[in-house]
Structure 1
Amino acid sequence: MTAKKKILKTIAAVAVIIAALAAVSVLMVNFSVKNSVEDKIIYTVTGDTAFDNENISEMKALEPDCILILGAGITDKDTPSPMLKDRLDAGIQLYKEGVASKILLSGDNGQQEHNEIHVMLKYAKEAGVPEEDIFCDHAGFSTYDSMYRASSIFGVERAIVVTQKYHQYRALYVGEELGLDVWGVASDQEEYAGQSYRDLREILARIKDFGKAAIKSESVLGGEVIPISGSGIISHGE
């Protein structure tokens, strides 16, 4: 074997080892994120958004400051995506059952043609939630930003987080790492198109937010403090 071939073989072997180590690291972080908050997912909605009295009593006993509903895309400028609609339906029912006296809507309002908050706020108001009980985080550009700003901007200390189960692990992990006491209600009322791709992408997102949480990275935007204990109307921006 020539010296050149030996070098190439060595390089290939090193590359395989590095790739294997990277894959193991990804799997370990992914497992750590999921395992650390598995017991924080206290309810999974299936089929409809009916909660029985025992579920409601357990959630009320946690005394959450708010129900935090995370954004999930929109169909058009007035219509939530199926995933977002399910999150809103579950969160609004929790509010109406008296689990928490406030709702915090957190989504991406970074583009004029993609205003998740406008859609979420409209949906909540049409469902009969009083305006003063709805808080809007227009700079929830990512899951990490949403959890960070829930604490830093709205003063949330304890929350029921509503999102689909695959996404709950990351949201709850980030929240816990940032000092929040968070519990999850998974809004999986149906099967969603493209979920296999979403699951794969979520693994990479967990790795990213694992790192951000480790160094306590700040959110993309700061802003004026709007206490969750007051009126949410000032946060609507309309």
Structure 2
Amino acid sequence: MKRLKKIILFFVIGLVLIIFLVLGVEAIFKRETADLIYRETSTLPEANTVIILGASVHADGKLSPILKDRVDTAIRLFEAGKVKNFLVTGDHRSDDYNEVAAMVNYLEKKGIADSLITADHAGLDTYDSMYRAGKLFGVDNAVVVTQAFHLPRTLYIASKLNLDYTGFTADQRAYTTEYRLKQREKLANFKALWEVLLKKKPTTLKLRVH
């Protein structure tokens, strides 16, 4: 009985420590990036490029609500004169799944000239997208558009890569998957911390452009 009580005690202590660690890393990311995140177009500093991070697309190429809000927000910043061009970066894992082409098609249908769009088909995750944007595509001054829960990790990675990036929130509605994504984000923070500490190279260093 005593042995069982000790096991339960150690389990509870371990669980509490893990929770504190998860919340601690999240707090560090938020604290270090708070001044880089903007929610009002009028207060956002101008930048050369708006970076749109990929998210899921449907089988017919239609953007998911989360991705549509990111692209629409980027267009709004362009129309307000806050950015001059676009870098879309996402997962093009196969011929049957292409986040980047879906974003490019959407932008062009909204009247954005093809000459203003650069496409990175190898932005397989947030770290790869930030690394490739700065180191391979030479984007040294940008505003990154994604949802608020995603921005602290994104900008923390960018700052550790010495990139002069700000962030703008793309939240325009409540998302059915938001709770799950927020929980996933807490775990993804550890992956990001590990990547920046190791100075990881992206999955591919090839330039694959539209």
Same fold (TM over 0.5): yes
**2:24 aligned partner:** 28
Q: Which has the larger radius of gyration?
A: 1
**2:141 aligned partner:** 158
**1:59 aligned partner:** 45
* Ranges in structure 2 where 5+ consecutive residues have no aligned partner: none
Matches within 5 A, 1:83-122: 83-122=66-105
How many angstroms apart in 2 are the aligned matches of 1:92 and 1:77?
22
Q: Choose which of 163, 186, 194 in structure 2 pairs with 1:180.
A: 163
Q: Secondary structure at the match of 2:58?
A: strand
| 1:11 CA drift (Å) | 4.3
| 1:8 CA drift (Å) | 5.0
| 1:89 CA drift (Å) | 0.8
Say whether the 8 Å CA contact 1:68–1:162 is kept in structure 2: yes
* Ranges in structure 1 where 5+ consecutive residues have no aligned partner: 45-50, 225-233
Does structure 1 residue 128 correspond to structure 2 residue 111? yes
Amino acid at match of 1:59: P
| 1:223 CA drift (Å) | 1.3
Provide, for residues 106-133 of structure 1, a one-character-per-residue CA deviation record: whole Å limited to 9, x for no partner. 1110122221011001011111111111
**1:190 aligned partner:** 173
How many angstroms apart in 1 are the aligned matches of 2:60 and 2:203?
24
How many angstroms apart in 1 are the aligned matches of 2:10 and 2:80?
58
Does structure 1 residue 214 correspond to structure 2 residue 210? no
How many angstroms apart in 1 are the aligned matches of 2:165 and 2:114?
24
| 1:164 CA drift (Å) | 0.9
Q: Secondary structure at the match of 2:17?
A: helix
Say whether the 8 Å CA contact 1:77–1:115 is kept in structure 2: no
Does structure 1 residue 77 correspond to structure 2 residue 82? no
| 1:13 CA drift (Å) | 3.6
**1:48 aligned partner:** none
| 1:100 CA drift (Å) | 2.1
Say whether the 8 Å CA contact 1:77–1:119 is kept in structure 2: no
Give TM-score, length-normalised by structure 2: 0.92
Seq. identity, %: 35
Does structure 1 residue 38 correspond to structure 2 residue 12? no
Q: Choose which of 128, 132, 139 in structure 2 pairs with 1:149.
A: 132
How many angstroms apart in 2 are the aligned matches of 1:92 and 1:223?
28
Give TM-score, length-normalised by structure 1: 0.82
Q: Aligned-residue CA RMSD in angstroms?
A: 1.8
Amino acid at match of 1:27: L
